[in-house]
Homo-oligomer: A and B are copies of this chain.
Amino acid sequence: MDGACKTYEGGDRPALLPTSFTVERGEFVSLVGPSGCGKSTLLGMIAGLLRPDAGFVEALGRPVEGPGEGRAMVFQDAALFPWLTVLGNVEYGLRAHGVARAERRERALEAVRLVHLDHVVDRHPHELSGGMRQRASIARALVMRPEILLMDEPFSALDAQTRTILSDELQRIWLETRPTVVFVTHNLIEAAFLSDTVHLLSSGPGRIVRTYDIDIPRPRDEADPALLDLRHDMLERLRAEVDDAAERRAQVAEVVAL
């Protein structure tokens, strides 16, 4: 609880300019920006999976030197291990940390229950729907009891309805467990709906061009007009940001489709 719990100063990667921002403990932050602007790169650095060329990342008061240590990540395509069952997937991180069998099982079942997957613990990933897979992936991250949860477009491979349902569930889970969340998405409504803060990144060499603080009380409703206004605002801003004509078209199409 010592104020700034995470700071980032980016490297000189071609597509990511030096970038700094801070996330308060327990805060839900979204990163939004055009494709290829470096959102995944940024998240990877926070996770400790990528090393910044310059600058540094600090999490929970310590500099990030590798993965793990209270941070967990959820990927766009779930990235479940196909040879393990749902339970096996959820237990994996605990096994990696040498948690004893009994405790492992118990914690995994608890996490699975949290995402409403207790009826399919023995299924393999290919026997699940896309939404179930993504929920398993979230359970796999939550079971680590992370203080920081990193999510890289976790819902973008899903259809609109499943997406809405999972957004709702994520809000519920977040309200229950209150981890710090850094959430990457293309979906402005999603970002506005879930977050305390939304950072807008620029295209090309990524950097933060605008920050929105969202004070709407939770639990929120996706149809809330305040959210729609906010989305409109962000959309305008994004349009202005995407300078290249071709990119703007693609971007607009993408956003309209949401």
The reply to whether the CB of A160 lies closer than 8 angstroms to some CB of chain B is: yes
The reply to whether the CB of A159 lies closer than 8 angstroms to some CB of chain B is: yes
Contact count band on A? under 10
Binds B, one of A6-14, A62-70, A249-257: A249-257
Q: Is the interface of A mostly helix, strand, loop or mixed?
A: helix
Contact of A160 among B159, B160, B161, B253 (CB under 8 A): B253
B257 touches A160 (CB 8 A): no
CA distance A98 to B253 in the complex (A): 46
A256 touches B257 (CB 8 A): yes
Contact of A249 among B161, B249, B253, B257 (CB under 8 A): B161
Contact of A159 among B159, B161, B249 (CB under 8 A): B249
Say how far A139's CB is from chain B's closest CB, in angstroms.
25
Chain A, residues 129-162, CB within 8 Å of chain B (1/0): the string is: 0000000000000000000000000000001110
Closest to A252 in B: B160
B249 touches A160 (CB 8 A): yes
Chain A, residues 52-82, CB within 8 Å of chain B (1/0): the string is: 0000000000000000000000000000000
Say how far A255's CB is from chain B's closest CB, in angstroms.
11
CA distance A123 to B43 in the complex (A): 41
Say how far A209's CB is from chain B's closest CB, in angstroms.
25
CA distance A256 to B257 in the complex (A): 7
CA distance A159 to B250 in the complex (A): 8
Apart from A159-B253, A256-B257, A257-B257, list 7 A-B contacts with CB within 8 A: A159-B249, A159-B250, A160-B249, A160-B253, A161-B246, A161-B249, A253-B257
Instruction: Tell me the A residues contacting B by CB distance below 8 Å.
Output: 159-161, 246, 249-250, 253, 256-257
